[in-house]
Amino acid sequence: MKKFVNDRFSLLLSVGSLYVVLSFITRVILLMMSIKDVELNILNLLRTFFIGFVFDITIILAFMLLYMVYLLVFPKKWVGSWADKVFTYTYLGLVLIIIFFSLMAEFPFWDEFGVRFNFIAVDYLIYTYEVVSNINQSYPLPLIITVLLGLVAGTIFLFYKKGVFRKTFSGQLSFRYRLCYVLPLLIVSIGLLEGMKNKYADFTNNSVTNELGKNGAFSFITAFGSNELDYTMFYPTLNDKEVYAELKKNLLQQNQHYTSTQWDDINRKTVGQNETRPNIILIAIESFSGDFLKAFGNKDQLTPNYDKLAEQSIFFTNLYATGTRTVRGMEALTLCVPPTPGNSIVRRPDNEHIFSIASVLKQKNYQPYFIYGGDGYFDNMNTFFGGQGFDIVDRDRGNPLSDDIETHRYIISDDEVSFENAWGICDEDLYRQSIKYADKANRTGKPFFQFVMTTSNHKPYTFPDGKIDLPQGSRNAAVKYTDYALGKFIAEAQQKPWFKNTVFVIVADHCASSAGKWEINIGKHHIPAIIYNLPHQPQKINRLTSQIDIMPTLFGYLNWNYTTQLYGKDINQTKPGEERAFIGNYRTLGLLKDQLFTQIDDRKTVKQFLVSDKDLSLTEQKIQNKTLVKQTISYYQTASERFKNGKMKEK
């Protein structure tokens, strides 16, 4: 073993040791960052750090796999030659850049999402313009690059001073000895890469504990190949006819009936009287948690305009977002389906011509618009909305719509923009686009529908100067500016001839954060929504409501007759006791009903928790309510099966 340390393999051992130590330090820092959310159980933490150590060994062996093969096959007579030095220094430099960059990147990612790298990080690699611009605007990029290169150079210098390179370039072992060292390492490397799975770290109900045990680079590689999860392979299932029977029993509103007796046909006829067809503007506000509102206890006066509108509106006080990303909010508001496992349907292929709110709107002769202040190419938004028949209004950065999408696209020109950051134009400029196209549509005499997606309440939290009394760059400031722009928009809309006949639905896409003590943190899905300017007395809806119910509830207020395949229900046509909310992330899914949260995951595990009235904390139940388990499976299994087999498509 003395030869192993002091010869040709000293660089391999040094890099491996450095990475394991740095990963341990990273894990400790992340633990400190989330100390309030972690379960302080010594045995669990020891297990977490042991699992983390195995993941760290796995990933550094993967990083150095090519170098191991190089050490094995490179002839000993050329050891120390210029070719040996060029390859070694180049490979070392690349590995160190990857190591330091991945470790540095973990901290802001953890700060924003509360997890190791996942499929969000994979998406970020695809949309380089938005992400690089966001990083540049949110962080001192020149300083980060300088620090990164400094760490690489400092490490190489340290290795040089410790004689690592001298040993590496002087050790001339025979092939037989090299094989004795490398072969076991290769076997262990391949075994760990094949055998280690991220799910091995998920041994508690505490998400922070589980995520600490993972390795960021390993999680990234795992996420790269698993954006979509096959429901029947990974989740608990029941017989198809059984789950559809359960679903159809729970989908039906009081004013609906099924149009077919086919066991898997969920088409329902919704009966209304005295229909009205006002213009509709649906505003999805980026990362707008319920916690920001005065009505839910916030004392910082961040949302005076929204608070005032809520007092004049139909105000949903017990509403929950289906997910933790914008594309999940879009999915919930347009497709009105539970969050199927993996990535949002917005991001998946073959998602055009799905039955959506656009299908209902077209029954009523509306032309829907999707208005976004960034490039709708990001997160596949344009393809998704265009595929449902929306006309697109966005910033064009050279990303055309697919030729097979039959829709119009309108570009927001530079002279219409007063302020712009990585994610798009400021909310004031965006709302001006809404008014512009409302004016245009109003001249046609047809009712119009707009889906307006804001971006100002997103890191780097920048907006036009001189608008509010808080400085740039903080979440609270961005929330206050977002509210300021909303108030200004409503005031300008009130001056328009179409205002009296326009209903505004103003809802969050998701909360500002989802990190916390449980796999799914119910309180971190609580969002506000209002329906403003209806000819209806202001009303608070305190009943449990899902984000997928917002638009069907609006259709109910408008007394529409329509045919639907949506999973969302009109809360006012839902019998007492049948209220429920769907909450999920990309691999854990759940149903909130009757103070119980039923959770299913990709290990075919079913858990049930009692939800505290006081703080929405969870207490796992030993005896499960089998009826709720069956309901939960029926919703998610059928939604996944319907998308996979094309049953969500318009007929």
CA distance 224 to 438: 41
327, 330, 331, 333: CA torsion to nearest 10:
160
Question: Where do runs of H (alpha helix) occur along 461-569?
Answer: 475-493, 550-557
| Nearest residue to 90 via CA among 45, 8, 152, 47 | 152
* Residue corresponding to tokens 């340390």: 5
Kindly give, in sequence order, each residue whose CB lies less than 8 Å from that of residue 470, ignoring residues fewer than 6 positions away.
Answer: 476, 477, 480, 481
Q: For the segment 46-95, what is each residue's pLDDT rounded down to a tens digit?
A: 999 999 999 999 999 999 999 999 999 999 889 999 999 999 999 999 99
pLDDT at site 2: 43
- φ, ψ for residue 504, nearest 5 deg: -110, 125
State whether 200 and 175 are in the same domain: yes
Q: Say if 291 falls within a structural domain.
A: yes
Boundary (domain end) residue, out of 193, 224, 255? 224
For residues 341 and 587, the answer to whether their CB atoms sit within 8 Å is: yes
Q: Say if 463 falls within a structural domain.
A: yes
State whether 553 and 453 are in the same domain: yes
409, 414, 420, 424: CA torsion to nearest 10:
10
| Nearest residue to 244 via CA among 642, 648, 651 | 642
Angstrom distances, CA of residue 506 to CA of 245, 258, 340, 483, 554: 34, 31, 24, 11, 12
Q: Say if 608 falls within a structural domain.
A: yes
State whether 82 and 176 are in the same domain: yes
State whether 376 and 502 are in the same domain: yes
For residues 100 and 151, the answer to whether their CB atoms sit within 8 Å is: yes
CA distance 400 to 626: 49
| Nearest residue to 453 via CA among 522, 530, 505, 501 | 505
State whether 200 and 303 are in the same domain: no
Question: Where do runs of H (alpha helix) occur along 213-344?
Answer: 216-224, 231-234, 240-251, 304-311, 326-334
State whether 191 and 321 are in the same domain: no
Q: What is the CATH number of the domain that holds 500?
A: 3.40.720.10
Boundary (domain end) residue, out of 224, 248, 274? 224
Q: Say if 594 falls within a structural domain.
A: yes
State whether 498 and 613 are in the same domain: yes
| Nearest residue to 625 via CA among 575, 589, 591, 588 | 591
CA distance 346 to 350: 10
CB atoms within 10 A of CB 354: 24
- φ, ψ for residue 222, nearest 5 deg: -60, -45
Q: Say if 229 falls within a structural domain.
A: no
Domain span at 310: 240-343+350-395+424-644
3-class state of residue 235 by DSSP: coil
Q: Is 89 left (phi over 0), alpha (psi -120 to 50) or beta?
A: alpha
State whether 375 and 308 are in the same domain: yes
State whether 34 and 84 are in the same domain: yes
Boundary (domain end) residue, out of 164, 189, 224? 224
How many domains does one find in the chain? 2
| Nearest residue to 359 via CA among 351, 350, 368, 346 | 368
Q: Say if 407 falls within a structural domain.
A: no
**Tokens coding 190:** 């391949």
CA distance 219 to 106: 11
3-class state of residue 265 by DSSP: coil
Low-confidence ranges of the chain (pLDDT < 50): 1-6
For residues 564 and 270, the answer to whether their CB atoms sit within 8 Å is: yes
CA distance 181 to 309: 71
State whether 146 and 248 are in the same domain: no
In DSSP terms, which residues pair with 649 in a beta bridge?
354
State whether 202 and 256 are in the same domain: no
Q: Say if 649 falls within a structural domain.
A: no
Q: Say if 556 falls within a structural domain.
A: yes
CA distance 99 to 76: 29
The distance of Cα 11 from the centroid of its chain, to the nearest Å, equals: 40
State whether 166 and 53 are in the same domain: yes
| Nearest residue to 372 via CA among 433, 416, 457 | 433
Largest interatomic CA distance in the chain = 92
pLDDT at site 637: 97
